[in-house]
Chain A
Amino acid sequence: MITNPARELYSNMDIDKLKPAKEETKGLLSKRNSMSMPNDASSQPAFRVAQHMLIYRQQREMLKNG
């Protein structure tokens, strides 16, 4: 049976509660991670997709509200 996962995947993306990604400071006195890989959510691909979705969602709401 061919199933369409789009409905479940879209519903599971809870982007309304998404926190904006923290911008890293790049000053000389800023804290540096000893590990090369960052440990926050922004490194996850689903988080980055959600960030893009959030932009489109906000644009849609702007169109709806006029």
Chain B
Amino acid sequence: MDEPLFDAPIPGQGLTHELGGRPWQSPPQYSTVDEAVDYYTSRLSTPEATSQIIDILKMGIPVTSLANTIQMSSIMDGKHSIDVGMLVLPLIVEVIMYIAEQEGIDYDDGLTDVKDNKTNAVILENIRTQMKEKAGEPTEEKPVVEEQVEEPTGLMARRA
């Protein structure tokens, strides 16, 4: 049985904040596609962003999901509007795939049909490498602790 969620927002909580107080309710920082393209190309090409993207792709996250998350978080931060985000989204996918191929890692582009029910090859490869690493390491055997039976020491205890 599903447990009730007590940390969910109460109905109408989204309307309690002052209008215009949220970043996405104010005019976006980059209003045109050209500005958004410059923003993403410069942001995604930094060493920090590149290493984070590679780590995420190595976990088996599809490129399309990652790109959508990046543009959605930028909308929430008030960087650009939803319309600009939709227009820039294919470019973000292309940039992420370029970064992945530049680093020479296997990645899931997320463009293949999801309905074929096949297990992701990247995830399988990661599991294989993890199992190989585990097989190479010596297994730690825990020392067996014998349970000591406490003998009753009271006045009424049976004496041997």
A residues with CB within 8 A of B:
4-7, 9-11, 13, 45-46, 48-50, 52-53, 56-57, 59-60, 63-64
Kindly state whether residue B32 has any CB partner on chain A within 8 Å: yes
Bound form: Cα–Cα A39–B68 in Å: 31
Majority SS at the chain B contact face: helix
B residues with CB within 8 A of A:
32-34, 37, 41, 63-65, 67-68, 86-95, 97-98, 101-102, 110-111
Residues of A near B33 (CB, < 8 A) are 45, 48-49
Residues of A near B94 (CB, < 8 A) are 10, 52-53, 56-57, 60
Residues of A near B41 (CB, < 8 A) are 52
Residues of B near A49 (CB, < 8 A) are 33, 37, 87-88, 90-91
Task: Please judge, given known A-B contacts A10-B89, A48-B34, A56-B95, whether A4 and B64 are in contact too, CB under 8 Å.
Answer: yes
